[in-house]
Amino acid sequence: MTSKKKTTQPQASLDPLPEMEVVRRHNLSGNTLSDKAHQIQFIQETPGTWSVKSTDQLRPEFKHESVRNRHFYTLPIWLCEELESEEFSGKVDQEQIAVEKELSHWAAEENFIAVHNGHLFSDPYRDIDSPVSFRSQESAPDEQSNQATPNAAALDNAARIRNETVKRPFVQALRGYQGWLMSNPQFLQELDRLLLDHGPEIEDNHFDAQAWHVRLQADWIMNQNPGSVELPQALARYQVFLSRWRLSRLAGPSYPIPLGPLASGLIPQSMFHQLQSSGGFFFLPDIIPIPSRDELRSLITGALSAEEDTPHLAKWRSLMDSSKSKGPAIQQHKRRFQVQHCWRLLHERHPGIFSRKRNKLQQLFAGALETSVNSIKEDFREFNRTLGDHWEERGFQLPSNVSGSTPSANSPGADN
């Protein structure tokens, strides 16, 4: 993606809201944690940072030199345990592995994938196909017993349950899309250019364009400024990047989070434009019968963006073609996301492990991902073909433009 000089790129604007960010939430009947949402309301409330948790629980592991001031992505627990074994004892720093294992266990409990100076990043699709339960807001036993309507926390919990149910059939495709993106030279080059130009500003806002936008709106309104909100160039360009590649956000510099389906819950107005340009809105009122499966598919397809507007997604769209057998290809891309992610983490933090242990590591990956060693080796051949021989050197921190060129994945070329 060709970047323009900052002095020539116009700033985006958005009309401010009359009072505060407007969100949509399904209202529930008496069954507080039921997913039988039936009525949509506008509810005005103060915006907040909902996609990135912040913690002041500074575990000792956060202070370790391999963790602090870095985007620290956790390794799978099974891999940490393997690295602790005698087989790799002379290849890795066992003290560092102990730190990583502690954080990996904590990450599994807290459902996050990375930490950066106390801020936690999550992948909503990582464990979505497992049974999920949500607790309502804690309160005194009789504090809410006489309420006629559920409180906001109960509504949000029910909305999350509903969305988990809706997203579950699509999770394999979303995970596969993550793998396809991280094997796509054009995506990686555009990501590198974005982070080279605006990485520090995006990082300061925890890679969350929605929360960043809402905070600017809130500040603009609270300061009683007339006119429209002027977005900083970094945010405007980040929003364009997310919309172009159908992402909701990045979980740190090197981890895309795709847009998923939404049935209920909070939809910030600042995200409406992105949703419209990344797919389409399809509203079906509850006073009409649901169309047949084929008719509904045709109606929804017609509400989506035209294919001619997204040539950079053409290959992925071909995988999604309903007339083709898409299961094995999607599963392959899902696996490749896991393989390349863990392999790059090992290369960044434990480079000595590859000496005479490469085949052993590939065997471990095959066993953990329930596939054959030949499939893992084919994954590596594909990485080398599309991303170049040194693809594993792609780091997990913000890129630095030392030479003045984009530090891409050493790609032999990119698709348009």
Q: Which two tokens stand for residue 192?
A: 């590198």
pLDDT of residue 40: 29
pLDDT of residue 317: 83
pLDDT of residue 95: 92
pLDDT of residue 222: 79
* Rounded CA separation 343/383 (Å): 11
Q: DSSP secondary structure string, 149-193? A: S--HHHHHHHHHHHHHHHHGGGHHHHHHHHHHHTT-HHHHHHHHH
Exposed (0-12), middle (13-18) or buried (19+): which is 236, by Cβ within 10 Å? buried
Task: Point out which residues pair with 24 in neighbouring strands.
Answer: 42
- The structure tokens 């392959």 sit at 332
Nearest residue to 218 via CA among 62, 46, 65, 352: 46
pLDDT of residue 152: 63
pLDDT of residue 64: 87
pLDDT of residue 142: 42
Q: Which two tokens stand for residue 325?
A: 């057998």
Q: DSSP secondary structure string, 344-366? A: HHHHHH-GGGGTTTHHHHHHHHH
pLDDT of residue 16: 38
Using an 8 Å Cβ cutoff, are 274 and 243 in contact? yes
pLDDT of residue 299: 65
pLDDT of residue 48: 37
pLDDT of residue 250: 97
pLDDT of residue 386: 95
pLDDT of residue 360: 94
Reported pTM? 0.72
Task: Point out which residues pair with 309 in neighbouring strands.
Answer: none
Using an 8 Å Cβ cutoff, are 134 and 33 in contact? yes
pLDDT of residue 276: 57
Counting as low any pLDDT under 70, the low residues of the chain are 1-58, 127-169, 224-228, 262-288, 297-308, 322-326, 401-416
